[in-house]
Amino acid sequence: MKNNLLYILFLLAGIQTYAQNEYPTKEQDTIMSEETLEEVIVTSASREIQKRSEVPGSISTLNAKALKETKAFGIDQLVNQVPGVFMSTSRVASNEQHFMAVRSPISTKALFLYLEDGLQIRPTSVFNHNALLEMNDVAYNRVEVLKGPASSIYGSESIGGSFNFITKSPSEDLSGSVGFQTNDLGLTRYEFEVSDSPSEQFGFYLGGQHVQRQDGPIEHSDYEKTAITFKTVYDITEKFNWTTVVDLVDYRSDMTGSLSEADYESGNFESDQTFTERDALAFRVRSTFNTQWNEQNKTSFNLIVRDNRMDQNPSYRIRQFRNQGQLTGFGSGEINSNQFRSYVGLVQHKVNMNFANSSLIVGATADYSPQEYMAESTNVIVDPETGRNIDFTINSGQYILNYEADIFNYAGFFQYEISPVNQVKVTAALRYDGFEYDYDNQVDGIVGVDDAVDNFNNLTPKLGVNYNFTSRSGVYANYSQGFTPPQVSTLYRNRNDLIGIKPSRYNNYEIGGYLSSSKFKVDAAIYVLDGQNTLITLRDLDDNFFNTNAGKTRSYGVEYGVTWSPIKELSITHNGSYAMHRYIDFFDRGVDFSDTDRETAPNLLGNSLITYRKNINTDLGFSVTAEHELVGEYNTSFEGQVENEDGTFGTATYDGHSVFNLRANVAYKGFELWGHALNVFDELYAARASFNRFRGENSFTVGNPRAFHVGMRYNF
């Protein structure tokens, strides 16, 4: 409670931090030196270089310096430093598999857009909440998080936030690194980088990693991942540039599943699973041609090819059979395979006008992604004494789904910016999206719905204004819309003659501001996000998951933070948010849950950092960071689902948690050595808690216990 009061006091100050940016390209270096106090340069808002003062939205940047100091062995350690962002993952059990919460409850829903260099890593309607495991964090120089709907430029699914991972550019001279990390959670990681520009016109970057984990604190939690990124930059002429990025990620992981309430509270981390797993192979190629026709006109041509496959024997689909509350020794589950290929074209043109410092961006995109999906049922053998799922057999040919779907998304968009006076920037954007799902059931008459062609379309506007008092302080306001069509597998798994999954639409209203000086940086955002036909997941009476639309939802809150540097060597940062997430209009099985709090939706999120960094001389330097992570209390069920001992009904809850971490880095010439002490006070906490309606109790994805992580790297 004391911690919560401290965070509320920070909330009343209404402040949010962003990290000072480092600029990896020559073009950005010429715009601004790192020594100046100008606002950061960002690309997330429009795929173009912009100053912070020109973006009418809440945007945060984790620069190369922040990435280097954090020495993260998981993307969650990075993005959870952003105000209002909670990437819910367990380094003990989840193995990079994750949930996300940004202006929304902790969920698996298609509310977040994951981008690499401003382009989607997956097609719309084939969203996977674990998509970040298909990325290579070794290769990233900067991470930008744009919160709130950005559908007017990026398209659908960018509702709660858009995560843009900017790849490293080739170095001018031959350079690289080799590194090794390990911890007592059973993880080891090897990584390497090499980069060079053998000529003034051509340069390349190659970076990769291999991660594996064995014999962790929780059973059935091994995993392996290999990821490689290759990037080339070819300046064909002074005005014509060609960039290509190739990504390959091979991933396999056990799926531990969640723990029962009794096992969680007693510290019994014996998993009920022995065979569930996820296997993913992701391949992406992106070629971008940038042409600077003259001082006013610039065009970007992008071609993308994706080839993904994910095979699962998922823990969340296993159901154990009971007779009068007792395990029978049998259960059911499924295996599934989801494969897609994508062929994408995107062209974007920007023209700078000589009228009122205005500019116009216009663009069009087409994404053709054929998908294959197959799910077969399994028979599960359960140990009735321990409740462990010990073996399974596949019911070959007993399909739950078996289809092919040709997914076509086409869109056109524009964004116009104008400064009627020097201190004011007005931004207006509009995008039209069309979707066609050509669904072909491969087992007609056996299971699934009839062949169908479904079409969805939407116009998505955005209007924003910036008023800048100086180059380092200003306020903004915006109205934006977001749109999410049904996911293909969700639509055809849940469709019947009475009900189908509808598109979700969102309206976002936001005001904010920022201020920076040599010692103090603040940023604030207040928002209201109204959803219609919000997609949610429920359990039926047989303990099976299914998706449906809630009528109306509303999320509203403030994202805040502050960075104070009283001396050059010391920085104190606090980031966080306070928000409410409510059902405005929602009925479930005839019960009215309108005007109630949504489940798995913490009000408070916070991250605080104290960092001391010192360069002893040109060869030797070090930094030490103390970190506090806060997740507030939240409901794990709807109102009225839990019967208390006195016969009344209440709400199942998770109490939240506070976790403290320590990090230390030492650099001597080309050598780096670092250590992390995670969860210093060994608090028992959950990365995510949810209510198991069938068991009548909470289930927990356990967070990491106290652990020690060390690493070393040689840079040349």
d(CA 205, CA 246): 10
Residue 645: which residues within 8 A CB-CB, separation 6 or more?
Answer: none
Structure tokens at 62: 């984790």
Alpha helices by DSSP H, listed for 108-223, are: 151-154
Q: Best-predicted range by mean pLDDT among 206-210, 317-321, 705-709? A: 206-210
* pLDDT at 33 > cutoff 60: no
* pLDDT at 323 > cutoff 60: yes
Confidence band, pLDDT 50/70/90 cuts, at residue 539? low
Residue 472: which residues within 8 A CB-CB, separation 6 or more?
Answer: 37, 38, 39, 515, 516, 517
Query: What pLDDT shows up at residue 489?
Result: 81
Query: What pLDDT shows up at residue 15?
Result: 32
Q: Which residue has the higher pLDDT, 15 or 217?
A: 217
Query: What pLDDT shows up at residue 646?
Result: 56
What mean pLDDT is predicted for residues 86-115? 87
Nearest to 449 by CA among 499, 486, 378: 499
Nearest to 258 by CA among 108, 143, 90, 414: 90
The radius of gyration computed from the CA coordinates of the chain, to the nearest angstrom, equals 25
pLDDT tens-digit profile of 669-686?
Answer: 999 999 999 999 999 999
**Residue 433: which CATH number?**
2.40.170.20
Query: What pLDDT shows up at residue 44?
Result: 60
d(CA 354, CA 340): 45
Nearest to 340 by CA among 315, 312, 310: 310
* pLDDT at 197 > cutoff 70: yes
* Length of the chain measured in residues: 716
What mean pLDDT is predicted for residues 554-560? 96
d(CA 20, CA 66): 9
**Ramachandran assignment for 309, one of left (phi > 0), alpha (psi -120 to 50 degrees), beta (any other):** beta
pLDDT tens-digit profile of 627-668?
Answer: 999 999 999 987 555 555 555 556 789 999 999 999 999 999
Please give the backbone phi and psi of residue 317, each rounded to the nearest 5 degrees, phi first.
Answer: -100, 0
d(CA 118, CA 173): 26
pLDDT tens-digit profile of 569-589?
Answer: 999 999 999 999 999 998 876
* pLDDT at 330 > cutoff 60: yes
Angle at 129 between CA 336 and CA 264, to 5 degrees: 90
* pLDDT at 3 > cutoff 60: no
pLDDT tens-digit profile of 520-538?
Answer: 999 999 999 999 988 887 7
Query: What pLDDT shows up at residue 596?
Result: 87
pLDDT tens-digit profile of 286-296?
Answer: 999 999 999 99
On average, the pLDDT of the chain sits at 88
Three-state secondary structure call for residue 505? strand
Domain that includes residue 664, residue range = 2-715
* pLDDT at 9 > cutoff 60: no
What mean pLDDT is predicted for residues 34-58? 69
What mean pLDDT is predicted for residues 508-521? 93
Structure tokens at 175: 């350079």
| Residue tagged 């909330």 (tokens) | 11
Q: Which residue has the higher pLDDT, 151 or 635?
A: 635
In total, how many domains does the chain have? 1
Share of the chain above pLDDT 90, in %: 65
* pLDDT at 551 > cutoff 90: no
pLDDT tens-digit profile of 432-489?
Answer: 999 999 999 999 988 888 899 999 999 999 999 999 999 889 999 999 998 888 888 8
Query: What pLDDT shows up at residue 493?
Result: 79
* pLDDT at 20 > cutoff 60: no
Please give the backbone phi and psi of residue 316, each rounded to the nearest 5 degrees, phi first.
Answer: -75, -5
Query: What pLDDT shows up at residue 639?
Result: 55
Q: What are the angstrom distances between the C-alpha of 471 and each of 316, 417, 517, 518, 542? A: 51, 18, 10, 13, 59
pLDDT tens-digit profile of 354-389?
Answer: 899 999 999 999 999 999 999 999 999 999 988 899
